[in-house]
Structure 1
C-alpha cells in the first residue's frame, strides 16, 4: 500500500477526502447495532478504478461514486476487506477520472461494542439502581474506522456534517451545537449538528443517553459568538459533581485564548463523564470525554487528591483544543507534539489558578520521576518514534510521549523564557491552523521568536532514546562534569553512549535563596567549571532539566544538611537522583540510606511523597530475597514517620491547605504500613465504626484509602468482606477505585486468590482491572500469585483485555515489573515466547529491563545494605 520509498503504511493517494456527511440511524439499544449512510466529498488525484479506505468490523452495503459534472452513479461492484490492515478496497464498474471532484456514498452497518473503542457502550447504574447503558465514541488513535468507513489518518483532514436518530428521551451530543431536531414519531428523533471545521477523523465524536448537564459561560466575549456556553454532561443523578470541572473549564478556555493570543475556535465547550473509559480523557474537539474520576468531584465525599486530578485533566484536554485539534501532528510518530505540550501547559494553567498546590513540585515528584523511570530502560523509545503503521501507535501513548515530552518542553520554555516560548507557540498555531505540522515546524516558530536555532540543541532530546546523567567530581574551587547515557541497569555499552546532549546546567552557588545563575550549557562530553564556590552549589536548580545528577557522596550529604534552604522541587530532585544512582550502581545504596535517614522532621508533602516512594521501592526490591532487609527498612521508615504522623494528627482543620491534607493522608498510610501501632489502632477503630454503619463520618474522605489499606493489611476475612461490601454499594465517584486499590493489600494466600478471581468477574469493569493488580504487584506477599494467576488463566486474561490493547499492555506492565528475580524473568520470557505479542511487545521489554535492574541491585548491594541497617537502625 505504501511506495518503496515511504516510511509509512498509508492509504493510496488516488483520492483525498474534504468533507463527510454522516448519518446514523436504526440504533438498536438492545441488540447494540446501528446502520449508517456516509457521503464523502473527494478530490480526485489519480485515475483509478478503486478506492481504498479504512473499515474495521463494519459491513459495507451498497455504494456508488458520483463525479461532479456527471449524473451517472458509478456503482461499487466489489468490496475486498483486509482485516489485518483494517481497510476496504472498493472496486468500480468504470475508471474514475484523475482530477475534479466526486462524492462517494456508502451504506454500512456496525455494532456498538463494549471495548471502549470506536462507537461503544458503557454500563452504569441509573437513578433507580437499575443496570443501564450510555453510548459514546473513542476514536484516537485509529478507531473512527470502527464506527464508519473513512480515511482514518491524521493528515487527511476534512469537515463534517453529522446526524443521528435516537430515542426521544435521549440527549444527543457531537462536536458542534445542535442545528435541528426533527421528531420522527415512534418515540424517535433525528438530531442534526452544525458543520465541524476541518479536522482529523480521530477527533470526531458523538454520544447519546439519558444525560443531565450543568452550564456556565466564559467571561470573555468571543468575536461573533459572545460568551461561550460551557457544559458538563453526566448520566442522571451525578450532574452536581460536575460543578468543579465546570468552574475550571470556563476559566481555562479564557486563559488559553489569552496566552495563545488565539481565540477558542468553536461555539461551545462540552465535557462528558463516561462510565467506561480506557484512558483518562479524550480531547474530541468541542465534546471532550472523561473517565468519571477525571471529571466528577463531590466536595463532601471525594478525596481531595481527585480535585487536583480533575483540575489538571480538564486543563490538559482543553489545551488540546488548540495544540492537537486546531493544529495536528502530521503523523503518529510526532504524537508527542500533542501530548507533551498539552501536559506541560495543562500544569502551567493549574499553577496559575492554584499556586498554593505547588504543581511544579508535583510535576517533579510524579511526572518527571515516572518519565525517568521508563526512559532509563533499554526498552524505552525516542520521544519522536518512527511509526510505520498507524496500528502500532497505541504502545507509544505512554510516559515518554506525555511526560518526557512535557519535561523537555518545560526545560526548553525555562531556557527561552516562558513569555518567549508561548509567543513562539502562538505563531506556530496561527501559521498552521486547521492543518498539520511537524516538530521542525514548532522548532522553527520558537527559533524565530527567540532568535536562536532551537532545532540544533533540541534535536537529540526528541530523536534519541534515553537521557543523560551528569557525574560531578570536585576539588576546591572547581568541578568537572561528565555526561553519559543513564540506564537503570547500570551497564551502558560504549555503542549506547555516543550521544552528546545539550544540557542546561542551571548552576546555583553561594546562596540557595538567590536566583539561579545560568552557566553555559554542557555541550560536550566533559567540561570543567573553575572559580566556583564549592562550599555551596547545586546543579539543575529548580529541576527544570531532564537529566540526573550524580554527586560525590560528601556533596550529597552537605546538600542534605542545608536542604531546608532549597525549594521543594530541588529537595525532591536530590532524593530521586540519589535513589536512581543507587539502583544503577553509579552511586551507593548505603549513601542513599544515609541521605534518607537524615531527612527526619521533613514537613513537605511532596518531599515526603518522594521519600516514601523511594523507601517503598527499596522494600519492594529487596523483600523477595532478603526479608531481613525488608524488616530493617520498615524500622527505618518507622523512625522517620513516627514523629511526623504524631505531630500532624488525624483531624482536618477548617481552612487547612491542600498539601497539608495530602500530607496527613500519606503519613497515616505510611505509618500504618510499617507497623506504627497507635496509627493502626486508630485506623481499625474508625474502620469498624464506618463499615458497621454506626458512624459514616468516622473516616474523613481524604483518609478512606489510608484506613482501608491498613484494615486490609492488618485484618482477614472480616475486613476483606467489609471493603468488598463497600465496593459493591458505594455511590461516591472515587469509592470503587479506592476499594480496589485497598484490596491489593491482602496478605493470606486465600484472600490474594480471591482478589485475583474477583478482578476477572464482571463486577470489575475492564477499565479498572489494573487497579487491584497494581496494588497486588506492589505487595511482595502477593506478587508471585499474580504471575501464577496470569499464567494459569491467560486465555481469560487475554480474552477480557485484548479487545483494547492499551488496556492489556498497561495491565501486564503493572503486574510484572516489580520482580527482582532472574528466575521469574526467565519464566516470563519462556511463557510469552510462543504467544502473539502484538500490541504488548514493547511492554514485555519494559518488564524485562525493570526486573533486570532490580536483580542487579539486589545482587550488588544486599550484603552492604544488610550491614548498614544493622549498624544504623535500632
Structure 2
C-alpha cells in the first residue's frame, strides 16, 4: 500500500503560538458546527439503528440448506441459538429460542491476543455478494462457503466478522451426504472481531469441512471494508461500491480468516445492475453474465478462482467506469477522466516488464486492472490483479497536472507493482514484518520509476525523499523498531509510517550496496521462489541472502546477513559515526553511538550496529570496511595527506550520519567554497554533508559555526538534490525564528543564498527546462515569495489575476502547472474573499484531481480568520464538495498557516497524524509544549492511531525548546556577521 505520508507542509508556513490558555481556542462558528455535528451523529445513529431493524426484504443470494439464527446481545458477545438440521424438515420454518453465555467474557481475557487459533485453516472460499448502491439502500447481502482443513480436533470454529449481520450458519462435511454438524451456538466477540461457532460435536483433525454463512452489511462511507463512493456527471450523482481491506477490514465484507498467514484460494461472484460493470482480482468467466433470480435488474458476474492469497489482497469494484487496455493491462476511470489514464497505461506495462526481469519471475496472474477511485483512504493498494488508487496518483492531464505529478504517478504505480511479488506472491506471516512489504516496495519503486524516467536521477532523489525523512522520525526516543510486535488493529495501522516505509527502504538500499546489485537480485530470486504462494518472516529473507552472499564470496563466511541486519530491524534508531583523524600517522578511528535529538543521556546508550563504512579522499578511490557491532575501530596508515579531506559514507548508501573532527570539516568546507570546488563531491554527498552538518549541530555534536559555514557554498549550487536537502534544515530555522525579533537576520542570510539562483532560473519557465530544474525553481520560488521578495509576489499576483479575469477560467489557465502551488497560495494570502471564492469555485469545477489537490492546499493560505474557520467546517461537512479522504489535507493546509494553526489544532484529533504534526511543528516555548501535553492528556482516547504522533510531537517540541535556549543566540550572532 502506498501510505499517505505526503509533505503537507509545502505551502505557507508562517508561525504562531499554540495559545496561553489551557483549553483549545476555536472560532464560534466552528464550535457551533462541532456541536451540531455531535447532535447530528446521535440522530444519525438512531436512524441507522431504525434502518437496520426495518430493512426491506431482499431475495436471498442463492438457495441452500442453511440455519436461521436468532441474534441476542450479551455485552461484547452476541450469541445465537441453533438447531440440528439433520432432524428437521427442509421446508419447515423454525423458531429458535435465544440463549446467552454465562461464562466470563473472553474480551476480559488476553484481549491483546487477537490472533486466530490454528486448529483450522482455510483451503478455499466461494463468495457471493449483492451490493445495493441505490440512494437509500446502501447495503449488501452475501454468502460465503469456506472449505477448511482441520489440524487440531476442536469443538469450535473461530473466524473473523466485523459490522456484519449474520443470518445463517451451516457446517457440514459433504453437502451430498447430508452430514451436517449440530451447532450449539454462535458468538460474536466484538472486541477481537471474532465469530465463534460452537459445535455439539467436534471437527476432527485431518478432515475437511465446509462452513457456509449468509450475512448482510452496510456499504459504509468510512472508506473501509466494502464501502460506497460517488462522483457527479451533470449534477447527477453516480454511485460505486468498492473495497479497501488492508490491514484488517476484509472481515467487514465477509466472514473470513482475516490474517495474512491464512492464505487460501478465492472464487468470487458479484451481482450488479445491468448498466454497470464489475472487476475483481481474477478474470471474469465467460463473455455473458447470468440473471439474478428475483432481481430483474441485476446479473451475476463470475470470476476465475484465484491463486493462494491473503484476505487483505481481495478486491472488487462495481461501477459504471470505462477503461483503456494494453493487452492484459487495463486502467479504469470515471468516463470524464478516461483520457487521463494514458500515461499510467503507457508506463504500467513497462514497469511490470522491468520487475519480471529484476525478480526473475513472471507475473503470475492473467491480467492487471488499475482503477482510480473518487474516494480512497490510502494513496494506493496493491490488491493482487486489481490495484486501487486515489485519482491523483493514477490520472494525469497534460498542461494541468504538474511534472512532479508525473514522477509521483510513476512511483506509486512502481510501488504497487513491486508488491505483486514482494507482499502478494510472498506475504509476511504477520504484521510485525509489515516493513518487508512496504520497505521493499518503497526502495524498489525507485528502480522501477527510474526504468521509465532515467533522466530524473531517481536514485539521487532517494536520499532526500526517503532516507532523510526517516532520519527525522528515527532520531526521536519515541521511534520504534522496524520489526515490532503488534496486536490489535490500531497497533497494526500505527506502523504504516516512515519507519516501515522509508527506513525499511533505506536499510535495504544499504544492504544492496554492500552485497552488490547482482548478488542482491540473485538472493531475492532464491527467496521468492522458495516461498512463493506462501508466507515468510524476515529471517527467511536473511537466510537466502546469506546463502547467496557466501556462494558469491561477497560476505565473510563467518558472518550472516541476519547478524548484520538484526541490528537494524530489531533496534530502534540509527547511529552517528564519528571520524577522528590522526594527521601525523594517517590513521583514522571510527566510533559509533545512537543519534538522538535529545542526546543528554547519550553516554549511557549501549546500542551498537553492524555498519558498512565507505570512504574516499581527493584521489576519488572508494574503499570500504566494517564496524562490526563494536564501539570503535581504528584503521592505520591510510596514506592520506594531512592537508587533504576525507569523505565517509559515499553517496550516503549507509543509514547513518557522519561527524568529523573540526579540521576535516574545515577541509571539506574549503573544498566546497572554491570556485566549482563543490563538484568534487557527488550531488548525493553534497546533500549528505549539508544535512549531516546542520542536524549534528542542532543536537550538539558539531559547532553551529562550522555547520553554517558549510552552507555558504550554496551560492554556486545549481543541483536540486543538495538544495532540497538543506531546505529542510533552513525551514526548521525559519519556524524557530519567525516569531522572534531577529527573524530579519535569518531572512537576509537565506535571501543572500537564494539571490543568484533565483535570478538565474527566474519565475518563468523555458521549454527546454529539465524536470529537476522545474523542481528547483518551485522550491526557490516558494521560499522567495514567502520571504516577501517583491518581484516574486508581483509575478504571482499578476498571473493569478490574469487567470481570474479570463472569460473561461476553467478551460484556460496559462499559469504554469509546475508553479501553480506558489501562485495560488501567494495570491490568496495577500488577497481577500474575492480571490478565495474564485479559487474555491475552480476547485469545485476541476475535473483533474491533481489540480484539485493544489487548490485545496492553496485555499488554506488565506489570512482571513473567518474564511479559514469556514473552510475547516466545510472539510467535515458532507456534500460540501470536499471528499472525506481530503479532510486531512484541509486541516494541514490551515495548520500550516500562522493564523489557522489554533483552529486546526482544535479539531486535529478528528483527523490524521499529519494534522497533529502540522499543528505542532513551530512549538518552541515551554508554555506551548505544556499546553499541548494537557490537550493530549485531556483527549487521549480521541487520538487513536494518531496518539504516537502526538507523543512524538511533544518530544520534538521539547527538543525545540532546548534548541532555542542553547543555540539561538549563537546562530543570530553568526547570521549577523555573515550579513555584514
TM-score relative to the length of structure 1? 0.93
1:408 alignment partner, SS class: helix
Deviations 1:729-771 (A, max 9, x none): 2222211211122233333544443443343333322211222
Q: Match for 1:576 among 679, 682, 691?
A: 691
**Residue segments in structure 1 that go unaligned for 5+ positions in a row:** 218-228, 802-807
1:508 paired residue number = 616
2:212 paired residue number = 105
Q: What is the rounded CA distance, in whole Å, between the counterparts of 2:169 and 2:870 in structure 1?
A: 53
Q: What is the rounded CA distance, in whole Å, between the counterparts of 1:331 and 1:818 in structure 2?
A: 37
**Residue segments in structure 2 that go unaligned for 5+ positions in a row:** 1-105
Alpha-carbon contact 1:266-1:286 (below 8 Å) kept: yes
Q: What is the rounded CA distance, in whole Å, between the counterparts of 1:24 and 1:348 in structure 2?
A: 39
Deviations 1:682-722 (A, max 9, x none): 11100100122257343111111111122123333333233
- State yes or no: 1:425 paired with 2:541: no
1:2: how far off?
A: 12
- State yes or no: 1:478 paired with 2:587: yes
Q: Match for 1:783 among 898, 901, 905?
A: 901
Q: What is the rounded CA distance, in whole Å, between the counterparts of 1:213 and 1:843 in structure 2?
A: 39
- State yes or no: 1:771 paired with 2:870: no
Alpha-carbon contact 2:659-2:693 (below 8 Å) kept: yes
2:326 paired residue number = 216
Q: Match for 1:370 among 456, 466, 469?
A: 469
- State yes or no: 1:713 paired with 2:822: no
2:125 paired residue number = 20
Larger radius of gyration: 2
Q: Match for 1:265 among 364, 367, 378?
A: 364
Q: How does 1:323-722 map to 2 (within 5 A)?
A: 323-451=422-550, 452=555, 453-476=560-583, 477-495=586-604, 497-511=605-619, 514=620, 516-521=622-627, 523-532=629-638, 533=640, 534=642, 535-560=644-669, 561=672, 562-624=677-739, 626-628=740-742, 630-693=743-806, 696-722=812-838
1:191 paired residue number = 301
Relative distance call for 1:622 and 1:758 in structure 2 (3 A) is farther
Q: What is the rounded CA distance, in whole Å, between the counterparts of 1:433 and 1:141 in structure 2?
A: 21
Q: What is the rounded CA distance, in whole Å, between the counterparts of 1:386 and 1:530 in structure 2?
A: 43
Deviations 1:84-105 (A, max 9, x none): 1111112234333333110000
Higher relative contact order (CA 8 A, sep 6+): 2
1:43: how far off?
A: 0.8
Q: What is the rounded CA distance, in whole Å, between the counterparts of 1:591 and 1:781 in structure 2?
A: 35
1:117 paired residue number = 224
Alpha-carbon contact 1:62-1:76 (below 8 Å) kept: no
- State yes or no: 1:829 paired with 2:938: no
1:780: how far off?
A: 4.0
1:592: how far off?
A: 2.9
Q: How does 1:62-211 map to 2 (within 5 A)?
A: 62-68=168-174, 70-126=177-233, 128-180=234-286, 181-184=289-292, 186-211=296-321
Q: What is the rounded CA distance, in whole Å, between the counterparts of 1:515 and 1:205 in structure 2?
A: 52
Q: How does 1:53-64 map to 2 (within 5 A)?
A: 53-64=159-170
Q: What is the rounded CA distance, in whole Å, between the counterparts of 1:346 and 1:2 in structure 2?
A: 41
2:625 alignment partner, SS class: coil
1:493: how far off?
A: 4.4
Relative distance call for 1:269 and 1:627 in structure 2 (3 A) is farther
Alpha-carbon contact 1:316-1:343 (below 8 Å) kept: yes
Relative distance call for 1:636 and 1:124 in structure 2 (3 A) is farther
1:863: how far off?
A: 1.3
Deviations 1:147-181 (A, max 9, x none): 11001011011000000101111110100010142
RMSD: 2.2
Relative distance call for 1:515 and 1:723 in structure 2 (3 A) is farther
- State yes or no: 1:736 paired with 2:852: yes
Q: What is the rounded CA distance, in whole Å, between the counterparts of 1:589 and 1:63 in structure 2?
A: 70
Deviations 1:170-215 (A, max 9, x none): 1101000101422447221110100011011100110111111111
1:279 paired residue number = 378
Q: What is the rounded CA distance, in whole Å, between the counterparts of 1:279 and 1:688 in structure 2?
A: 35
Q: Match for 2:969 among 856, 863, 867?
A: 863
Alpha-carbon contact 1:8-1:387 (below 8 Å) kept: no
1:753 paired residue number = 869
TM-score relative to the length of structure 2? 0.83
2:714 alignment partner, SS class: coil
1:23: how far off?
A: 0.1
Alpha-carbon contact 1:684-1:711 (below 8 Å) kept: yes
Q: What is the rounded CA distance, in whole Å, between the counterparts of 1:478 and 1:461 in structure 2?
A: 28
1:616: how far off?
A: 1.3
1:820: how far off?
A: 2.0
Q: What is the rounded CA distance, in whole Å, between the counterparts of 1:705 and 1:196 in structure 2?
A: 44
Q: What is the rounded CA distance, in whole Å, between the counterparts of 2:153 and 2:107 in structure 1?
A: 17
1:443 alignment partner, SS class: helix
Alpha-carbon contact 1:635-1:674 (below 8 Å) kept: no
1:523: how far off?
A: 4.0
2:88 paired residue number = none
2:598 alignment partner, SS class: coil
2:33 paired residue number = none
Deviations 1:99-142 (A, max 9, x none): 3110000000011111111011123223x243332221110000
